[in-house]
Amino acid sequence: MNNSIQIPLDLPDVRVLEVSKTEEGDWLIRVESTLKGTKCRKCGREITHFHGYDHAIRLRHLPIFEQPVYVQFRPKRYQCPDCKGKPTTTQRLSWHELRSPNTKPYERWLLKFLVNSTVVDVARKLDTTEETVTGVLDRWVATKVNWSKFKRMEILGIDEIALKRGHRDYVVLITTPSTTQGVEVLAVLPDRKKETVVKFFASIPLRLRQTIERVCTDMYLGFVNAAREQLPRAHIVLERFHVAQAYRNCADKVRQQELKLLKKQLSEKEYEQIKGAMWPFRKSLEELKDEEWELLQRLFTYSPKMKEAYILREELTAIFERNYTRATAKRAIRAWCKRVLRSQISQFDRFLGTIETWLDQITNYFLERLTSSFVEGFNNRVKVLKRRYYGIFDVDHLFQRLTLDIHGYERFSLT
Ligand SMILES: [Zn+2]
């Protein structure tokens, strides 16, 4: 019984000459071009005078049943009768890029593996080298943004990524929200100096620069000043997420210091009753389970300061939840600051300074509440991206990888 099957090769403009197995057990498919002629590389005219064959080239192609497959052929050369010196031109096939050791279908397939993965991992899985994988990436994914695909750019985000934990090594991620992908990466900058950011803003085509309405950033003067200089029409918005991080840290400090004190003051039995308070303390009232709420109540009877810190933190969060205008938000935040000053707590003092410096940028958040859920989804996406690329230092490579992760499936899927 013949137990073999036939599979179409699906590469255009070739005829299969022979299929064999190499010594290593790989499939080797020998093909020849069925195209006649090519365009002269000098004059661009169609030429059909056959000159001869080049040396055979062997290209990696899609595997069959996990067996590596190679396609081999000898490129045809054609001679131009019109150009001086009668130069010859090598015929090109649509499924192969000059100098690539792979067919295009293979490269697209490899890139799909690289989405959300790493170069090292893909090289191992596909039994190839890291150089091959980065070579494919370089052929298919640009290292700079293609501005022509954008019509408008209402929101721009600037974020820094720490490349090493605890080190002051940053690259800067410039992004814009996208309706289909959550976020679109515009650039990865090598450092967070103001000049670097200014230079990038200046490189945005003027027609797009004029459409930028908001620049979302964290509390870093270099970013803010760069935006003020280059994008004078845009509102600078301090991310709610960064603001929240700052005041939540203040409340956490109160918790830490108070618990330390309580550990000294309370009996072991009493202290046992308020153990495990960290997570409940970090939750909002709505998030608390009954037993967590009871735990917090016990804690607050021992420490009124912690209660105060908890309430202040939640009050400020509530302000950001409300549908304030910019002016009413300012008033609410100022009133909140006064309550902090009247409280017995000093751990928020530094944050009051932050508000003093950044109140305009903080309250710009209230300018266009309509898009806030949109912006939040976008921020979450940026956070995920930031976590993934930790450890990659080459900004061009970083840009390629981000782009591939965002657009890879859509660009390299079969359908
Ligand atoms: Zn010619």
Q: What is the DSSP string of 290-343?
A: HHHHHHHHHHHHH-HHHHHHHHHHHHHHHHHHS---HHHHHHHHHHHHHHHHHS
355 plus 381 within the same structural domain? no
Question: What spacing in Å lies between the alpha carbon of 76 and ligand 1's midpoint?
Answer: 16
Question: What spacing in Å lies between the alpha carbon of 77 and ligand 1's midpoint?
Answer: 13
350 plus 398 within the same structural domain? no
Question: What spacing in Å lies between the alpha carbon of 294 and ligand 1's midpoint?
Answer: 87
375 plus 330 within the same structural domain? no
Cα 413 from chain centroid? 20
- Listed as own residue / partner, the contacts of 177-181 with beta carbons closer than 8 Å and 24 or more positions apart are 177/374, 177/375, 177/377, 177/378, 181/406, 181/407
Per-position pLDDT tens, the chain of length 415 = 689 899 999 999 999 999 999 999 999 999 999 999 999 999 999 999 999 999 999 999 999 999 999 999 999 999 999 999 999 999 999 999 989 999 999 999 999 999 989 999 999 999 999 999 999 999 999 999 999 999 998 889 898 887 776 666 788 889 998 877 778 899 999 988 999 999 999 999 999 999 999 998 888 889 999 999 999 999 999 888 889 999 999 999 999 999 999 999 989 888 888 888 889 999 999 999 999 999 999 999 999 999 999 999 999 999 998 989 999 999 999 999 999 999 989 999 999 999 999 999 999 988 875 455 666 666 677 777 777 766 677 889 889 998 998 899 989 886 6
Question: Do the domain assignments include residue 233?
Answer: no
300 plus 396 within the same structural domain? no
245 plus 316 within the same structural domain? yes
Contacts of 79 (CB under 8 A, 6+ apart): 47, 49, 50, 51, 86, 87, 88, 89
Question: Do the domain assignments include residue 115?
Answer: no
Looking only at the bridges linking them, the beta strands covering 170-178 and 182-189 are antiparallel
Question: What spacing in Å lies between the alpha carbon of 46 and ligand 1's midpoint?
Answer: 8
Question: What spacing in Å lies between the alpha carbon of 55 and ligand 1's midpoint?
Answer: 23
Question: Do the domain assignments include residue 46?
Answer: yes
Tell me the residue type at 101.
P
181 plus 291 within the same structural domain? no
Question: What spacing in Å lies between the alpha carbon of 54 and ligand 1's midpoint?
Answer: 19
Residue of 190, 164, 159, 219 lying closest to 384 (CA atoms):
159
Which residue among 95, 111, 129 closes a domain?
95
Question: What spacing in Å lies between the alpha carbon of 81 and ligand 1's midpoint?
Answer: 7
Question: Do the domain assignments include residue 101?
Answer: no
Question: What spacing in Å lies between the alpha carbon of 45 and ligand 1's midpoint?
Answer: 6
Angle at the Cα of 329 (from 333 to 379), degrees rounded to 5? 95
Task: Give whole-number Cα distances, 116 to 27, 42, 292, 401, 407, in Å.
Answer: 29, 43, 38, 8, 11
Q: What is the pLDDT of residue 167?
A: 62
Q: What is the pLDDT of residue 169?
A: 76
Domain, as residue range, for 181: 147-213+369-412
- Does the predicted TM-score (pTM) go above 0.85? no
Report the C-alpha gap between 45 and 39 in whole angstroms. Answer: 5
Q: What is the pLDDT of residue 371?
A: 54
Question: What spacing in Å lies between the alpha carbon of 44 and ligand 1's midpoint?
Answer: 6
Torsion over CA of 231, 232, 235 and 241, rounded to 10 degrees? Answer: 50
336 plus 404 within the same structural domain? no
376 plus 362 within the same structural domain? no
**3-state secondary structure at position 373:** helix
Question: What spacing in Å lies between the alpha carbon of 91 and ligand 1's midpoint?
Answer: 14
Question: What spacing in Å lies between the alpha carbon of 119 and ligand 1's midpoint?
Answer: 42
Question: What spacing in Å lies between the alpha carbon of 84 and ligand 1's midpoint?
Answer: 8
Question: Do the domain assignments include residue 100?
Answer: no
Name the strand (E) or helix (H) holding 162: strand 155-162
Q: How many domains does the chain have?
A: 3
88 plus 12 within the same structural domain? yes
397 plus 356 within the same structural domain? no
Question: Do the domain assignments include residue 235?
Answer: no
Question: What spacing in Å lies between the alpha carbon of 320 and ligand 1's midpoint?
Answer: 69
R_g over Cα of the chain: 31
Question: Which residue is it, tokens 């090519």?
Answer: 38
330 plus 379 within the same structural domain? no
Question: What spacing in Å lies between the alpha carbon of 40 and ligand 1's midpoint?
Answer: 5
Question: Do the domain assignments include residue 167?
Answer: yes
Question: What spacing in Å lies between the alpha carbon of 47 and ligand 1's midpoint?
Answer: 8
Task: Give whole-number Cα distances, 141 to 30, 118, 229, in Å.
Answer: 30, 15, 32
161 plus 180 within the same structural domain? yes
Question: Do the domain assignments include residue 344?
Answer: yes
